[in-house]
Amino acid sequence: MKFFIDTANLDEIREAYDLGVLDGVTTNPSLMAKEGITGDEKVRAHYKAICDIVDDKVSAEVIATDYAGMIREGKELAKIDDKIVVKIPMIKDGIKAIKYFHGEGIRTNCTLVFSAGQAILAAKAGATYLSPFIGRLDDISFDGLELIGQIVHIYQNYGYETEILAASVRHTMHLIKCAELGADVVTCPLKVITGLLKHPLTDSGLAQFLADHAKAAGK
């Protein structure tokens, strides 16, 4: 399973990268605004700064919702760096744009996916990644993990090459369950990734080892 970090914060991206487990980054206009990054020029410069930190796969989202606008913006984003993956919304013109970019060899991430039907359309159009938002489904009393299982099953049935990128991952159990279900990628905040480090028995075991060492050393 690949780990992407869902943020536009450069310090968090560096920390995740230095941990040695980071495979990519996902961002969106909301995350950019959270970091105070506004205006096309500053946003693109920030994407470049992210690309300079990581090895590959930085999702950069288009703002346009019409076909021509998405194509124009997507091309500009792809020019920033070879690591850019153009993030396209799951709408009718978005599917058309994904098909176009697939033909041009530009990687895409189909975002705001909430159903298996949408997942099928994105795969048939040639999306590189598909982002089902499991946490947001949980928020409306639908099991987001059930959707991940559905999509994994369907994609295996037909050999679709689109990778399932579980998004809106809120906590470590979301991540673990996505791994069990066979999601190709998870994208989540840094705290979810570092949360995998934690276990009370690890803490107590280490404390005991250190105490025993100190005792043996006469400290």
Extract the tokens encoding 11: 């310090």
Quote the CA–CA distance of 87 and 122 in Å, as a whole number: 12
Helix (H) or strand (E) holding 26: strand 24-26
Task: Give the Cβ contact number of residue 61 at 10 Å.
Answer: 24
Of 164, 169, 132, 128, nearest to 147 by C-alpha is: 132
Quote the CA–CA distance of 211 and 23 in Å, as a whole number: 37
Quote the CA–CA distance of 7 and 43 in Å, as a whole number: 13
Output the CA torsion 12→18→22→24 (10° steps). Answer: 60
Catalytic site positions: 87
Of 165, 167, 196, nearest to 183 by C-alpha is: 165
Extract the tokens encoding 105: 């060899």
